[in-house]
Structure 1
Amino acid sequence: MATIKDVAKLAGVGVGTVSRYLSGNASVSPKAGKKIASAMAELQYRPNSMARSLSSKRSDIVGLWVPSFSGSFHRKMLQTIERELRKRDKHIILANAEDSQNDEERIKCLDYLIERDCDGILMSCPELSVIQLAKIEARYPKVVFINRDIEELIDKTFCANHYQGGRLAAEHLIELGHTEIAIVTGRMNAQDAISRHQGFIDRLAESGIEVKPELIESGGYSFELGRAATQRLIDKGIPFTALFCGNDNSAMAAISTLNEQGIVVGKQVSVIGYDDIDLAEYASPSLTSVRIPLEEISINACHQILNLCYGESLPIKTRFEPTLSIRNSTHSVKQLKNK
């Protein structure tokens, strides 16, 4: 196996020159650089990543912290970020807090990434408080937060306007004539879930519509919790013509559960989801959903971590507006009654 000394000998330069070339040091002349590159190709030399990181004082690795690897939302985020980093020869280390029961355990996931010498860290952290995030940023400045809205850290927080997303869902149901409405919420200890729920409730209230407390159930974000929450609503026997779910997993589980109980979605009840994941249009019936531009959010967050860690000057946008994708799972009250 070729060594750095072999490369230096073949290129006719010193070992120190090869080392500076590998670290990206601009002091290496173009002529010497060409000789070194040619020698590396001829010898099929691959630089030791550990030695290179010691020389350049960076690892070319970015950490990604997410609350869970399950579900389409975070998979999309991961795929987008990994693709953007790979374009610039950077790599990713993952950590998730799926089994964490408190903030202390969640912070340990961050420590895991820091201990692995990540150049910077991207965090999707809906359950950590603003105070906790401020402490993290003070301790580790090369951090960017995804799906959080913190005015004091506006250039390091990338998110959609979830309050407006909730209002869009409510507006759609109001336009369809619905007044008997049920809700399966997301995790109500998370900022995004609280914001979309409040936006939904506020817009309904502006039209004189109040959701009965008995028709609000917590569903988390999984298929299982969405199914269980929908079944609890059905078991109460309180009529509703529309159901708003905190994410698309819950909404698709709700469609399945309602249909199994003989309540046909699109004919007897309308269901609207949130996020507009790729599977939403393939549900049966296809799911009306509030679209969060997750790919754009992830790309911009990734650009900012590249700016912070590697001196790039990529343009960024930090705030994004949701839109509504209307499909077959929602119909007007009049249409429902006629079916």
Structure 2
Amino acid sequence: MATVKDVAKLAGVGSGTVSRYISGNGSVSKKSAEKIERAIKQLNYRPNSMARSLSSRRSDLIGVWVPSLEGPYYHMIIRAVEQELRLHNKHMILANAEDAKSDADRRAHFDYLVNRDCDGILMSCSLQGTFELARTCEHFANLVLLNHQADALAGRCFFIDHELGGRLAARHLVELGHKKIAVITGRLSAQDARQRHDGFLDEMAKLGRSVPEDCVVEGAFSYAAAERLVSAFLDMNLDFTAVFCGNDKVAMLLISELNNRGISVPRDVSVLGYDDVDFAAYTAPPLSTIHAPIDEMARSACRQLLNLTYDTDLPFQERFEPSLCVRRSTAALG
């Protein structure tokens, strides 16, 4: 395997000149750079990544902090971020805070990324408060926040307009003629779930529809908890013809349990999801849902993190709008 000395000898320059060329630290004449580049190609030389990191004081590693890996939502984020990083020759270290029970536990997962010498960190953080996140930004400058909205952290927050998403859901079901509508929310302590739910209720009121309190059930994150929730929800024997679910995972479980109980979707009950994750088009029937541009949001956040961390100038946007995706799980009231 070729070394820096081998490259320097073939190029007819000093080893220090080769090191400066590889690291990008210090000046190298155009003539020397051309000789070094030819020698590198001829010898098929590959710089040692650890040595390059030490010389440049960069690891080329980006940390990604997520609160869970269950379900397709976070898989979509991780996939989008990894693909974007690969385009820019950067790599990812993942911290999954699913087992965190407190703020201290969540901070320990964050510190794990810091201690691995990540140049920048992307956090998906709808459950954290703005004050807590602002303190984290003070501690670690190269940080961007996914799925969080705060004016105080402008330029670092990347989010979907979930209030608009809730309004789109209300309009769709009302336009189909539904008057008796139930809701299974996300966890309302999460900023995105609260915005979505508030938008839905407000739009329903503007359209002259009300949602009784007993027809609103707060959701859960895990499949096991969501399955129990859906079963308990149907056992309540509420009077509804449509259900708006805070995410596609709950909507999928609801369709499955309705079918198990001999209730047809959408003939007897319309079911509307939220997110438009990968499996939404493959449920039976295919799921009508609110499309949240998750991939686009994650890629844009990643580009801004690269800008902050490596002084690049990649295009990005912070706010994304959801849209209605009608498939076959919702239908006009017959």
Q: What range describes the TM-score normalised by the shorter chain of this pair?
A: over 0.9
The answer to whether the aligner puts 1:299 opposite 2:296 as a matched pair is no
Q: Distance in 1 between matches of 2:65 and 2:31?
A: 42
Instruction: Give the stretch that moved more between structures: 208-217 or 123-132.
Output: 208-217
The question of 1:34 aligning with 2:19 is answered: no
| Partner AA of 2:75 in structure 1 | R
1:96 corresponds to which residue?
A: 96
- Aligned pairs for 1:102-113 within 5 A: 102-113=102-113
2-side partners of 1:124 and 1:230: how far apart? 26
Aligned to 2:258: 258
Equivalent residues of 1:222, 1:250 under 8 A apart: no
CA distance in 2, matches of 1:11, 1:228: 69
Partner of 1:245: 245
Q: Which residue is 2:65 aligned to?
A: 65
Q: Which amino acid aligns with 2:158?
A: F
In 1, Cα distance between equivalents of 2:36 and 2:220: 56
Range moving further from structure 2, 56-65 or 67-76: 67-76
> What amino acid is aligned across from residue 203 of structure 2 in structure 1?
R
Matched, 1:327 2:330: no
Unaligned stretches of 5+ in structure 2? none
Match of 2:84 in 1: 84
Counterpart residue type for residue 89 of structure 2? D
Which residue of 2 is the match for residue 138 of structure 1?
138
Q: Which residue of 1 aligns with 2:200?
A: 200
1:149 counterpart SS class? coil
Q: Tell me whether 268-277 or 96-105 shows the greater mean CA deviation.
A: 96-105
> Does the aligned pair in 2 maintain the 1:222–1:249 contact within 8 Å?
no
Identical-residue share of aligned pairs (%): 50
Q: Secondary structure at the match of 1:16?
A: helix
In the alignment, which residue of structure 1 is the partner of 2:224?
A: 224
Shift of 1:33: 2.0
Q: What is the match of residue 160 of structure 2?
A: 160
Q: Secondary structure in 1 aligned to 2:100?
A: coil
Instruction: Kindly state the Cα deviation for residue 282 of structure 1 after the two structures are TM-superposed.
Output: 1.3
Which residue of the partner structure matches residue 211 of structure 1?
Answer: 211
Amino acid of the residue matched to residue 30 of structure 1?
K
Paired AA for residue 257 in structure 1: E
**1:16-54 deviations in Å (ceiling 9; x for gaps):** 111111112361223222322332333333222111111
Q: How large is the RMSD of aligned CA atoms in angstroms?
A: 1.4
Q: Specify the code of the residue in structure 1 equivalent to 2:95.
A: A
Which stretches in structure 1 are left out of the alignment for 5+ residues?
Answer: none
Which residue identity is paired with 2:127?
E
For residues 195 and 124 of structure 1, the distance between their equivalents in structure 2, rounded to whole angstroms, comes to: 16
Deviation at 1:134, TM superposition (A): 0.5
Secondary structure at 2:189's aligned position in 1?
A: coil
Count of residue correspondences: 334
Matched letter for residue 60 of structure 1: D
Looking at structure 1, the residues matched to 32 and 69 of structure 2 have their Cα atoms a distance apart, in angstroms, of 46
Contact kept? 1:230, 1:258, Cα under 8 Å = no
Between 20-29 and 307-316, report the one with greater CA deviation: 20-29
Match of residue 49 from structure 1 = 49
AA in 2 matched with 1:64: V
Q: Does structure 2 conserve the Cα–Cα contact (< 8 Å) formed by 1:184 and 1:229? A: no
1:65 and 1:122 in contact (8 A); partners too: yes
**C-alpha distance in 2 between matches for 1:172 and 1:224:** 29
- TM superposition shift of 1:183: 1.4
Q: CA deviation at 1:70?
A: 2.3
Which has the higher mean CA deviation after the structures are superposed, 20-29 or 126-135?
20-29
> Are the counterparts in 2 of residues 62 and 91 from structure 1 also a CA contact under 8 Å?
yes
> Which 4+ runs in 1 deviate beyond 4 A?
none
- How far 1:169 moved relative to its partner? 0.5
Q: 1:186, 1:219 within 8 Å by CA — same for their partners in 2? A: yes
TM-score for the superposition, normalised by structure 1: 0.95
Do residues 120 (structure 1) and 124 (structure 2) align? no
SS at match of 1:163: helix
More off after superposition, 320-329 vs 209-218: 209-218
Structure-2 residue corresponding to 1:14: 14
CA contact (8 A) 1:160 1:322 kept: yes
